[in-house]
């Protein structure tokens, strides 16, 4: 989705902003732009380009000096990708520049009024109304002009504004779309994502919804959109700038798949309590009495996070014996759900910014529900909005498709389930057994990753397929769903995922030699049932790739994964299928880190 980066200080701003935009590329975008000025300059200088940041860079003139600037990567919502629709947008006099993430819901109405007043629009974007509103404001200060303009606007925004007559400052505001300030030594940064900041400063201030800030080179202040001062104490982010580099891998996806052993080690670190065969989850803000009072758990997330939540629901039901289910947050928020005071709601999100999840959390909170967040990005909107929760500590995930965050989120759910279970009826011996299983995970993941060459060969065989089927039963079903999502996201091969138990109820009609099936076949109580499904597919000449704990006779290929405790099996079974999707897409020549039409953080509806 769209990205913002801004700087004010003494350094040459254009290279800094271009580097910041490159760090935001992973979010997905279709055009980019930059506007700069300096205290001595007479106005604003702007360059915009459809395409990649490198296309923008190529258009930037040699003499493009300045010390203040804002820049943007745009992911089209209103108007096609083009130079004109790229941000920044300028007012008619070229004095005001705005970059904006989010959507202005009443843009059509505002545009009609402005056009009736004689304003000529140069783009089809919703954002351009904002720049004209700022320019027309009669207020004296830039802060007041922006505040007045925002009063007319309905919708979501993360916005940064520059004005040629106020070249000593950048004014930013947030409502529903992230804005993060980076505090430096006599220089200030702003971005929509800390990825653009961490190579310059680790001192961060995250704006709240309804908050604005003024950045000057040696100072910043925050205040509400109503004008009252707020206190903002910078926090130090732990993520290293290097975590955003490719680290010798050809793609971020490959890097992130390869990091999973360490990532899982991190989510476990400091949380296991051997004395009581349980785990410490201090951030939940849920005491034992409250935990015992939970009658139901409802998990909400989107895409991969929803799939992780499905596994989480099964773990909670299995270990804590609390009825639990997962639902796409994007559906939940539109169906006027019954919100029950005895239900624990859990919002899952890697980015912590997914709009549908955030909107579901806000609706739940409004109705008085208790909401926990299971989130990767520290300090993100969902993490801050929730009553408590746990970070999954996967480290930055740059690739649009989620891999290590899926795995870490499932492990985080295993910890939550174990915690709730041990407060309720899970025995000490089961607690011990699961803790031992959790401790084995990093080494087992490393062992799976060592089989990459074998998986690559299988993937190259499947790379020509038009379509693929993924099946799994109970614990294996969310694994199948996630594996099929991964494959379709990056290879664009059509993929279906079904519960293996549903095969006979329809999808069996699709089985033929040209449709390979990937079957999740753990050594659990359902092994024989799963084997029967393989028989049915084989009898129809279907090709089978099994992911199993031992060779499957009916399968054309088996990827054997190490056995753990049955409840934890889904954590490991997904990993070879990430590699399968990766190598299939690679063999097909796809742009793996930037799949078409997708964005990393879906911060709009």
Contact at 8 Å (CB) between 125 and 78?
Answer: yes
Site for ligand M6R in 459-518 (CB under 6 A): 489
> CA angle, corner 195, sides to 178 and 142, nearest 5?
45
Token pair of 491 as six digits: 């290879």
Select 213 or 602, whichever has its Cβ closest to ligand M6R.
Answer: 602
The rounded Cα 319 to chain-centroid distance in angstroms is 28
Q: Which residues are catalytic?
A: 2, 600
Nearer Cβ to ligand M6R, position 483 or 546?
483
Scanning 53-61, 400-408, 423-431, 570-578 for contacts with ligand M6R by CB under 6 A, the matching segment is 400-408
Q: Which helix (H) or strand (E) holds 90?
A: strand 89-90
Q: How far is the CB of 47 from ligand M6R (least distance, A)?
A: 30
Q: How far is the CB of 455 from ligand M6R (least distance, A)?
A: 18
Q: Which of the ranges 82-90, 172-180, 245-253, 298-306 carries the binding residues for ligand M6R, by CB under 6 A?
A: 298-306
C-beta of 70 vs 405, nearer to ligand M6R: 405
Choice between 126 and 256, CB closer to ligand M6R: 256
* Rg of the chain on CA atoms, in Å: 25
Per DSSP, the three-state class of 452 is: helix
Among positions 90, 302, 390, 500, the unique one binding ligand M6R when judged by CB under 6 A = 302
Candidates 87-95, 297-305, 386-394, 571-579 — which segment interacts with ligand M6R by CB under 6 A?
A: 297-305
From the list 182-190, 194-202, 212-220, 396-404, the region that binds ligand M6R by CB under 6 A is: 396-404
Q: Return the range that interacts with ligand M6R (CB under 6 A); candidates 7-15, 33-41, 227-235, 301-309.
A: 301-309
Which of 131, 311, 400, 414 is in the footprint of ligand M6R by CB under 6 A?
A: 400
Q: Identify the three-state secondary structure at position 469.
A: strand
The angle formed by the CA atoms of residues 97, 99 and 103, to the nearest 5 degrees, is 130
- Of 37, 214, 304, 444, the one binding ligand M6R by CB under 6 A: 304
Other beta carbons within 10 Å of 541: 11
Smallest gap from residue 310 Cβ to ligand M6R (A): 13
C-beta of residue 314 within 8 angstroms of C-beta of residue 416: no
- E strands in 302-439: 324-328, 343-349, 370-375, 388-391
Of 23, 22, 31, 27, residue with least CA distance to 598: 27
What stretch of H or E contains 545?
strand 544-548
Contact between residue 9 and residue 217 where contact means Cβ atoms under 8 Å apart? yes
Q: Which of 175, 278, 402, 584 binds ligand M6R (CB under 6 A)?
A: 402
Residue closer to ligand M6R by CB (options 382, 503) is 382
- Minimum distance between the CB of residue 136 and ligand M6R, rounded to whole angstroms? 37
Closest to 410 measured CA to CA, from 316, 480, 323: 316
Give min distance, CB of 487 to ligand M6R, in A: 11
Residue whose CB is nearest to ligand M6R in the complex, by number:
303
Residue 401 within binding range of ligand M6R, rule CB under 6 A? yes
Per-residue contact flags (x/-) with ligand M6R for residues 329 to 368, judged by CB under 6 A: --------------------xxx--x--x-----------
Shortest distance, position 581 Cβ to ligand M6R, whole Å? 10
Q: Which residues contact 297 (CB under 8 A, 6 or more apart)?
A: 313, 316, 322, 323, 324, 325, 343, 344, 345, 346
Three-state DSSP class for residue 340 = coil
Tell me the number of residues near ligand M6R by CB under 6 A: 16
Degrees, nearest 5: CA angle 156-172-77: 35
CB of 238 to ligand M6R, least distance (A): 19
Return the number of the residue (134 or 361) whose C-beta is nearest ligand M6R: 361
485/534 with CB nearer ligand M6R: 485
Burial group, residue 140, by CB count within 10 angstroms (0-12, 13-18, 19+)? exposed
Contact set for ligand M6R, span 168-207 (CB under 6 A): none
Neighbouring C-beta atoms of residue 591, cutoff 10 Å: 11
Minimum distance of ligand M6R from residue 328's CB (angstroms): 10
Paired with 181 in beta bridges are: 190, 205
| Contact string 253-292 vs ligand M6R (x = CB under 6 A) | ----------------------------------------
DSSP 155: B
Residue number with CB closer to ligand M6R (382 or 438): 382
545: number of CA atoms within 13 Å, CB side? 25
CB 373 within 8 A of CB 385: yes
Q: Token match 């379709």: residue?
A: 488
Distance CA 29, CA 10 (A): 29
CB of 349 to ligand M6R, least distance (A): 3
**CB closer to ligand M6R, 127 vs 350:** 350
Q: How far is the CB of 183 from ligand M6R (least distance, A)?
A: 26
Q: From the list 28, 66, 155, 303, which residue makes contact with ligand M6R (rule: CB under 6 A)?
A: 303
For ligand M6R, the closer of residues 350 and 530 by Cβ is 350
- Distances from the Cα of 282 to the Cα of 61, 422, 521, angstroms: 53, 15, 36
Site string for ligand M6R, 544-583 (x = CB under 6 A): ----------------------------------------
Continuous segment of H or E residues that includes residue 332? helix 329-332
Give contact residues for ligand M6R (rule: CB under 6 A). 302-305, 349-351, 354, 357, 400-402, 489, 598, 601-602
């Amino acid at each position: 989705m769209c990205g913002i980066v801004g700087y004010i200080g003494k350094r040459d701003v254009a290279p800094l902003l271009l580097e910041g935009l490159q760090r935001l590329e992973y979010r997905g975008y279709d055009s980019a732009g930059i506007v700069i000025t300096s205290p001595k300059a007479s106005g604003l200088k702007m360059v915009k380009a459809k395409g990649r940041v490198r296309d923008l860079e190529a258009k930037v003139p040699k003499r493009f000096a300045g010390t203040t600037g804002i820049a943007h990567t745009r992911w089209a919502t209103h108007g096609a990708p083009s130079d004109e629709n790229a941000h920044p947008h300028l007012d008619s006099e070229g004095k005001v520049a705005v970059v904006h993430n989010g959507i202005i819901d009443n843009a059509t109405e505002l545009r009609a009024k402005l056009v009736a007043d004689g304003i000529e629009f140069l783009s089809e974007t919703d954002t351009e109304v904002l720049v004209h509103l700022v320019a027309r404001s009669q207020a004296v200060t830039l802060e007041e002009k922006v505040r007045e303009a925002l009063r007319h606007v309905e919708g979501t925004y993360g916005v940064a504004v520059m004005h040629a007559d106020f070249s000593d400052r950048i004014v930013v505001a947030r409502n529903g779309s992230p804005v993060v300030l980076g505090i430096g030594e006599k220089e200030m940064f702003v971005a929509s994502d800390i990825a653009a900041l961490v190579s310059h400063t680790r001192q961060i201030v995250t704006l709240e919804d309804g908050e604005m800030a003024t950045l000057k080179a040696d100072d910043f202040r925050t205040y509400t959109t109503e004008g009252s001062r707020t206190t903002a104490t910078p926090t130090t982010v732990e993520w290293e700038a290097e975590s955003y580099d490719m680290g010798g891998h050809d793609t971020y996806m490959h890097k992130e798949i390869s990091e999973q052993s360490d990532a899982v080690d991190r989510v476990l670190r400091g949380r296991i309590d051997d004395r009581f065969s349980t785990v410490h989850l201090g951030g939940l803000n849920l005491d034992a009495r409250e935990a015992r009072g939970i009658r139901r758990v409802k998990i909400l997330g989107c895409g991969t996070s929803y799939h992780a939540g499905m596994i989480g629901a099964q773990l909670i039901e299995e270990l804590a014996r609390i009825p639990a289910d997962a639902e796409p947050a994007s559906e939940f928020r539109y169906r006027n759900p019954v919100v029950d005071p005895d239900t624990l709601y859990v919002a899952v999100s890697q980015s912590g910014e997914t709009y549908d999840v955030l909107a579901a959390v806000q609706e739940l909170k409004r109705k008085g529900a208790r909401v926990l967040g299971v989130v990767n990005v520290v300090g993100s909107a969902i993490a801050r909005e929730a009553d408590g929760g746990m970070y999954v500590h996967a480290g930055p995930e740059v690739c649009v498709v989620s891999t290590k965050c899926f795995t870490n989120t499932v492990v985080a759910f295993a910890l939550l389930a174990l915690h709730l279970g041990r407060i309720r009826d899970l025995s000490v011996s089961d607690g011990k057994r699961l803790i031992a299983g959790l401790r084995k995970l990093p080494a087992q993941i490393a062992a799976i990753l060592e089989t990459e060459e074998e998986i690559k060969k299988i993937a190259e065989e499947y790379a020509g397929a038009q379509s693929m089927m993924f099946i799994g039963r109970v614990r294996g079903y969310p694994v199948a769903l996630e594996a099929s999502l991964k494959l379709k996201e990056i290879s664009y091969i059509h993929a279906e995922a079904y519960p293996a138990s549903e095969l006979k109820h329809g999808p069996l009609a699709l089985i033929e030699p040209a449709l390979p099936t990937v079957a999740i076949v753990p050594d659990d109580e359902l092994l024989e049932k799963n084997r029967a499904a393989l028989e049915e597919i084989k009898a129809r000449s279907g090709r089978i790739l099994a992911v199993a704990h031992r060779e499957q006779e009916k399968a054309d290929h088996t990827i054997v994964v190490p056995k753990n405790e049955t409840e934890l099996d889904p954590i490991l079974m997904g990993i070879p299928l990430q590699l399968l999707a990766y190598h299939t897409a690679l063999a097909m020549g796809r742009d793996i880190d930037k799949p078409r039409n997708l964005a990393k953080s879906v911060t709009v509806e």
